[in-house]
């Protein structure tokens, strides 16, 4: 266990020494400032605080949009961090001396993974919380379930970086980042397409979204997070079923079964990664 | 758990590493075909062989970094795949690279932690001084020169009080002073009963410090033994003129290694002391003019080249 924590600490130290934390911090502040300006303009246009249903709908959509930006940054960041820190180290030979110590390969992998989860999850939770505060201060909107929403965002990041970890035990650092982000984008698009299918009543198209959410749960978790961020009345502004077609509103909360599936999915991919890594010739 | 039930082995008798029948293929290419070797406690063993002979691959299989296709390696009495086997092993890889974002001191403390060794900051500092990095302790490894990185690698291999040190081409990036330092370090390890496996292309280095040598060629052990066994053959250089056919016939009774102009080199068996006087008096008796007689010992380099060329034919 101490080995795992040593490697976790090392991974976090790498992220900070390589100025990844600094870069993310600056990006976050920029995005927060931009959204603060946007929301305050919105409040000024509608005259003071926003109380009407329409205004709350706009706030919900805007909040989800900015959150999407943060989750995108977290996803891209961790996916591209995983490649260099895992595949890159085995490729360059840095891992050679570390793994020649009495260190189990799975402990090494767990340490790296924990470090990345802490980093990526920590980022979305902090940035997301700051964003909620910005919205509250500018337009007086507070999401119905911010803790749940932020936890789902962290889970989304974890899912994507577990995939990136698995990929980087098998393929090169660059390829693993590209494939992970590509799949992330693809499931998001599939989710939007599926939502359109559902609102049009086309079962076959709707199934695309459902299947992609099972195959890679990032989009499913993202929709759950949006649902927890947005105002409960937001969906009612749309006609029946039309809310599903809109990419920045979540149609329904996540079911416990889906959350269990996400946990199983992460455990499964992690085990596969550990298996693949322990067989790797360095 | 199973340690208590295992029959205790005499520590002195137990080798630090024992490989038997190791084989490794990468795709269709065979890197190591059949390698068995052993290093005893306190022994310094040289690993020699041409590029691509499989030396590094054998070392990586010993350390559990590469899984062999066949055969097994026991490291300090445990299977190489068991992480605990590596607790008392120091390793300097051929391609040495350390976390560039850490300082030299931080790299050492990381390795001490991973090895779960109890090494004080003072000792770590001494270890860095030993390899000549005493002035660069707080500097980032990313800013180190290649030779400095290799020196750091040496410190990493030595820091956690190893019982067995594996050095894969430890002087490939070092200046002449550094090479001499490595020699001293290896001899100092030997005096503390620490075993060393030294893979190097610098044969002089191996010849000076190693008790035993293993020569690999195309994934197989081409020769192995102590230096005395491998270099048993001595040689004699003669400067002769007026060599008659009878004298040539007499010379042919020995093993003529080389014949250039008036210089003739013959090989001598190690144990027979009477052979040189007999040869000289015979040649003088046959009317040969003897200008010079120079004793020579076969160098490890010549022996190595001889073994590898013979395998080539
Ligand atoms: N990861 C790998 N993938 C494919 N082939 C490999 C790999 N590692 C080694 N080989 C092959 O195995 C053979 C032995 O390589 P190895 O590195 O063990 O040689 P070596 O004796 O250490 O050579 P050198 O003196 O150049 O360091 C070579 O033919 C090499 O091409
Ligand atoms: Mg090599």
Chain B residues touching A282 at Cβ < 8 A: 60, 65-66
Residue A105 pLDDT level (bands cut at 50, 70, 90): very high
In the sheet with B195-199, reading across from the earlier edge strand, the strands are: B78-79, B70-75, B17-26, B29-39, B220-226, B212-217, B44-48, B195-199, B164-168, B89-92
* pLDDT over threshold 80, residue B82: yes
Query: Hey, is the C-beta of B151 within 8 angstroms of any chain A C-beta?
Result: no
Instruction: State the pLDDT at residue A75.
Output: 83
Interface test with B, best of A4, A102, A109, A278 (most B CBs within 10 A): A102
Decide which of 3.40.50.10470, 1.20.1050.140, 3.30.70.1150, 1.10.287.3240 is the CATH code for B233-297: 3.30.70.1150
Shortest Cα–Cα distance, B226 to chain A (Å): 28
Ranges for all domains in chain B classified under CATH 3.40.50.300: 11-229
Q: Which of A15-29, A78-92, A236-250 has the lowest mean pLDDT?
A: A236-250
Ranges for all domains in chain B classified under CATH 3.30.70.1150: 233-297
Counted domains in chain A: 1
Please write the tens of the pLDDT for every residue from A219-275: 889 989 988 888 887 777 666 556 666 777 887 788 899 999 999 999 999 999 999
Across the interface, whether the CB atoms of B86 and A93 are under 8 A apart is answered no
DSSP symbol at A84:
I
Please write the tens of the pLDDT for every residue from B247-267: 888 888 887 777 888 888 887
Instruction: State the pLDDT at residue B3.
Output: 45
C-beta of B29 in contact with ligand 1 (< 6 A)? yes
Q: Tell me, yes or no, if the pTM score tops 0.90.
A: no
DSSP symbol at B10:
-
C-beta of B47 in contact with ligand 1 (< 6 A)? no
Average pLDDT, chain B: 88
Please write the tens of the pLDDT for every residue from A137-164: 888 888 889 999 999 999 999 999 999 9
Q: Whose CA is nearest to atom 16 of ligand 1?
A: B54
Output A52 or A140, whichever has higher pLDDT.
A140
Across the interface, whether the CB atoms of B110 and A6 are under 8 A apart is answered yes
Residue B227 pLDDT level (bands cut at 50, 70, 90): confident
Average pLDDT, chain A: 87
Q: Name the residue with tokens 């290419």.
A: B29
Instruction: State the pLDDT at residue B65.
Output: 94
Strand runs (DSSP E) across B106-262, as ranges?
164-168, 195-199, 212-217, 220-226, 234-241, 255-260
Count of CB atoms situated within 10 Å of the CB of A33: 11
In the sheet with B255-260, reading across from the earlier edge strand, the strands are: B255-260, B263-268, B234-241, B289-297
Interface of B with A in 14-53 (CB under 8 A): 26
C-beta of B51 in contact with ligand 1 (< 6 A)? yes
CATH match of B11-229 with 3.40.50.720:
no
Tokens of B281: 């008096």
Please give the residue range of the domain that contains residue A221.
2-279
Nearest-atom number in ligand 1 for the CA of B53 is 21
Q: Which of A51-60, B124-133, B141-150, B235-244 has the lowest mean pLDDT?
A: A51-60
């Amino acid at each position: 266990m101490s080995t795992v924590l040593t490697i976790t600490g090392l991974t976090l130290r790498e992220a900070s020494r390589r100025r990844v934390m600094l870069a993310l911090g600056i990006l976050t502040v920029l995005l927060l400032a931009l959204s603060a300006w946007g929301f305050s303009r919105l409040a000024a246009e509608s005259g003071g605080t926003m109380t009407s249903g329409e205004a709350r709908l706009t706030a919900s959509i805007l909040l989800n949009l900015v959150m999407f930006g943060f989750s995108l940054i977290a996803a891209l960041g961790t996916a591209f961090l995983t490649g260099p820190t895992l595949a890159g180290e085995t490729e360059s030979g840095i891992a050679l001396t570390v793994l020649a110590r009495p260190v189990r390969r799975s402990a090494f992998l767990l340490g790296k993974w924990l470090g990345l989860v802490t980093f990526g999850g920590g980022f979305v939770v902090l940035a997301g919380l700051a964003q909620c505060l910005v919205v509250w201060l500018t337009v007086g909107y507070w999401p119905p379930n911010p803790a749940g929403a932020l936890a789902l965002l962290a889970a989304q990041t974890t899912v994507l970086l577990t995939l990136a970890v698995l990929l980087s035990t098998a393929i090169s650092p660059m390829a693993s980042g590209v494939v992970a982000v590509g799949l992330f984008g693809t499931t998001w698009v599939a989710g939007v397409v599926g939502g359109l299918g559902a609102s049009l009543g086309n079962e076959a198209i709707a199934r695309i979204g459902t299947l992609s959410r099972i195959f890679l749960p990032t989009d499913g978790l993202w929709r759950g997070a949006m649902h927890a961020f947005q105002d409960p009345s937001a969906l009612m502004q749309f006609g029946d079923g039309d809310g599903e077609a809109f990419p920045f509103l979540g149609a329904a909360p996540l079911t416990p079964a889906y959350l269990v599936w996400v946990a199983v999915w992460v455990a499964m991919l992690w085990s596969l990664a550990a298996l693949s890594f322990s067989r790797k010739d360095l | 758990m199973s340690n208590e039930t295992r029959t205790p082995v005499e520590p002195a008798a137990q080798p630090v590493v024992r490989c038997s029948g190791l084989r490794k293929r990468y795709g269709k290419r065979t890197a190591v075909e059949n390698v068995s070797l052993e290093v005893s406690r306190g022994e310094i063993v040289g690993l020699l062989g041409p590029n691509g002979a499989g030396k590094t691959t054998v070392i990586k299989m010993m350390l559990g970094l590469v899984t062999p296709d066949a055969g097994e390696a026991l490291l300090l009495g445990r299977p190489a795949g068991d992480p605990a086997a590596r607790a008392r092993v120091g390793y300097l890889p051929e391609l040495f690279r350390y976390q560039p974002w850490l300082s030299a001191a931080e790299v050492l403390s990381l390795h001490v932690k991973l090895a779960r060794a109890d090494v004080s900051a003072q000792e770590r500092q001494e270890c860095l001084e030993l390899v000549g990095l005493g002035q660069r302790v707080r500097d980032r490894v990313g800013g180190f020169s290649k030779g400095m990185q290799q020196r750091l690698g040496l410190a990493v291999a030595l820091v956690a009080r190893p019982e067995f040190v594996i050095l894969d081409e430890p002087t490939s990036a070092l200046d002449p002073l550094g090479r001499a330092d490595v020699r001293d370090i290896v001899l100092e390890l030997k005096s503390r009963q620490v075993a060393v496996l030294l893979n190097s292309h610098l044969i002089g280095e191996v010849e000076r410090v190693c008790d035993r040598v293993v020569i690999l060629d195309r994934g197989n052990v081409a020769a192995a033994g102590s230096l005395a066994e491998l270099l048993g053959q001595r040689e004699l250089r003669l400067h002769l003129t007026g060599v008659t056919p009878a004298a040539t016939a007499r010379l042919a009774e020995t093993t003529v290694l080389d014949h250039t102009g008036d210089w003739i080199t013959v090989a001598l068996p190690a144990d027979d002391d009477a052979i040189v006087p007999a040869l000289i008096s015979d040649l003088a008796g046959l009317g040969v003019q003897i200008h010079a007689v120079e004793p020579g010992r076969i160098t490890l380099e010549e022996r190595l080249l001889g073994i590898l060329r013979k395998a080539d034919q």
